[in-house]
Amino acid sequence: MLHILTIIGARPQFIKAAAISRAIRQFDNIQETIVHTGQHFDANMFDIFFDEMGIPKPNYHLHVNSLSHGAMTGRMLEEIEKVLLQEKPDVVLVFGDTNSTLAGALAAKKHHIKIAHVEAGLRSFNMRMPEEVNRILTDRISDFLYCPTDTAVINLEAEGFRQYPCSIEQVGDVMLDAAMYYLPISSQKSSILRDMDLNQDQFLLVTIHRAENTDHPQRLAEIVEAINKLSKDFDVVFPVHPRTKHLLSNLSISPRVKLVDPVGYFDMIQLINGCRLVVTDSGGLQKEAYFFKRFCVTVRDQTEWVELVEHGYNRLSSTKSSDIQDAVHFFLKQTFKTGEALYGNGDASNRICRSLLNHHDKNHSI
Give the residue numbers annotated as catalytic, written as ranges.
Answer: 209
DSSP three-state, residue 33: strand
Cα–Cα distance for residue pair 20/15, rounded to 1 Å: 9
Question: What angle separates helix 321-332 from helix 217-230, to the nearest 10 degrees?
Answer: 40
Of 88, 46, 85, nearest in space to 63 by CA: 46
Element (H, E) at 171: none
Q: Report the C-alpha gap between 56 and 188 in whole angstroms.
A: 22
Distance CA 119, CA 305 (A): 11
Q: In angstroms, rounded to a whole number, what is the distance separating the alpha carbons of residues 268 and 266?
A: 5
**In sequence order, what are the residues at sequence separation of 6 or more whose Cβ sits closer than 8 angstroms to the Cβ of residue 15?**
49, 53, 175, 178, 265, 284
DSSP 279-307: EE--SHHHHHHHHTT-EEEE-SS--S-HH
Nearest to 220 by CA among 185, 186, 248, 256: 248
Cα(208)–Cα(255) distance, integer angstroms? 12
Q: Are 143 and 116 in contact (CB under 8 A)?
A: yes
Rounded-to-integer distance, Cα 42 and Cα 38, Å = 9
The candidate with the shortest Cα–Cα distance to 114, out of 137, 84, 136, is 84
